[in-house]
Amino acid sequence: MLKIKVLILFFLINTSFSQTIYESFESEFLNDSRELKIQLPRNYDDNNKKNYPLIIVLDGDYMFEAVSGSVDYLSYWGDIPDSIIVGINQIDSRYDDCSVLDNIDFIPINSSANFFDFISEELIPYFDKNYRTTKFKVAVGHEATANYINYFLLNNKTSISGFIAISPKFSYNMENYIIKRFEKIKTNIFYYLVSSNVDFKSINERTKMLSENLLTLNNNLVSFKYKQHENLTHYNLPIHSISEGIEHVFATYSAINSIEYDSFLSKIQTSPVKYIVDKYENIYNYYGVNKDILINDFRAIEKYIEESEQYKYYKDLSKLALDKYPKTILGSYFMGLYHERNGDIRKAMHIYRSAYTLEDVEGITKDELLERADLINQDLQ
């Protein structure tokens, strides 16, 4: 029977701030207790139906604050979903936890195998049962622990889908294991790998070689990113790379930015409205998070329609806007554009005027629609 003893509850009581909890977790696999640091999202208690991805931070004694701070900041601005973070302190057990490997396949044995079971069979199930988690799990590690998180990638039974490997000290043959796994994997994986030109030579060389092989990989289910920093030491790499790693594993969640627009949206051959619907379906499928379509993303589709002059898609965009924002002027705005761009300016004028009883949205006001209607009316006279 698992036993959890709360040592210090709520570092910050006010729910407008992230909550940090300290717990001592008694593990049957480790035959010992392990100190945990847990950060809950802002306003976690306000909505008991909202679930969150779980981010597991190894080396929690020095990595937790860097990860939790980045997650809190990025989620505050909506770039990533609110998430639950758990840091596992390993200050006195790091070698036993992660570096006891057999001499043939170099996989965890004895205490390191027990640590694997502790995470996969005790820690994750505990959080799934006692906290409102989604199916999306992320593992973060540095050096030896960055190597260790790959064993969760190699094991078919684990539920971790996001990996942030910072300056990993790879065990023997780990690169080949990863390549072979990525070639055959049938689930979505997000993998961020980082080193530096002044990192330990063996680490930099091996990560660079692995990246060269993975960048040629032909598997659309794997989202891989490699970053080589300049002039960052092995020990200050984490603070400079954690945010980028978190952004990568949650890349699909973020709003359509210029990179996504130029690289993907502007090049599509199908409906741009389908593109945005698929994007938000993928957010749910990947992360287990229901996210409302952002107004800015509606405007990105508008930009595509205008630039490509495929005005027929305004009708579908209007229907989607009416479904997602029925009390606002958004649907009327796009339907008015549909008729205006297709030459029925009189109908567009009436639609713009009829939106006066509805609510404004960010970047579009009722006054602007009335101005458009007045300009059309002047042209008709």
CATH of the domain at 117: 3.40.50.1820
Query: Are residues 57 and 182 located together in one domain of the fold?
Result: yes
- Same domain (yes/no): 292, 167: no
Range of the domain at 339: 258-380
Share of residues in the chain with pLDDT > 90 (%): 91
Distance between CA atoms of residues 142 and 164, nearest Å: 9
CA-to-CA distance for 290 and 281, rounded, in angstroms? 9
Q: Are residues 265 and 229 in the same domain?
A: no
Q: What is the pLDDT of residue 37?
A: 98
Write down the pLDDT at residue 17: 63
Task: Please write the tens of the pLDDT for every residue from 224-256.
Answer: 999 999 999 999 999 999 999 999 999 999 999
Tell me the pLDDT tens digit for each residue of 38-58: 999 998 999 899 999 999 999
The two tokens of residue 354 are 């009829």
Please report, as a single letter, which amino acid is at residue 108.
Answer: P
Query: What Cα–Cα distance (Å) separates residue 314 from each residue in 134, 302, 333, 334, 337?
Result: 34, 8, 9, 6, 7
Are 166 and 75 part of one and the same domain?
yes
Domain stops at, among 253, 270, 289: 253
Q: Are residues 65 and 199 in the same domain?
A: yes
Contacts by residues 123-129 (CB-CB < 8 Å, ≥ 24 positions apart): 123/25, 123/56, 123/86, 123/88, 124/54, 124/56, 124/159, 126/2, 126/4, 126/25, 127/54, 127/84, 127/86, 128/54
pTM above 0.95, yes or no: no
37 contacts 86 by C-beta, under 8 angstroms: yes
Q: Do 220 and 289 reside in the same domain of the chain?
A: no
Regarding whether 309 and 327 lie in a shared domain, the answer is yes
Q: Check residue 16 and give its pLDDT.
A: 54
Indicate the burial class of 78 (C-beta count within 10 angstroms; 0-12, 13-18, 19 or more): middle
Identify the domain boundary among 203, 232, 253. 253
Task: Read off the CATH number of the domain in which 299 is found.
Answer: 1.25.40.10
* Residue at a domain's end among 253, 274, 292: 253
In this prediction, residue 193 carries a pLDDT of: 98
Output the six-digit token pair for 144. 């030896």
pLDDT at residue number 34: 95
- 203 plus 54 within the same structural domain: yes
- Total domains in the chain come to 2
Report the phi/psi class of residue 10: left, alpha or beta, with left for phi > 0 and alpha for psi in -120 to 50.
Answer: left
Instruction: Confirm if 67 and 239 have CB atoms less than 8 A apart.
Output: no
SS3 of the chain: helix, strand, coil, percent, to 5: 50, 20, 30
* 148 and 68 in a common domain: yes
86 shares its domain with 194: yes
Strand partners, 352: none
Q: Are residues 233 and 296 in the same domain?
A: no
161 and 23 in one domain? Answer: yes
Q: Kindly give the parts of the chain with pLDDT less than 70.
A: 1-18
CA distance 315 to 333: 10
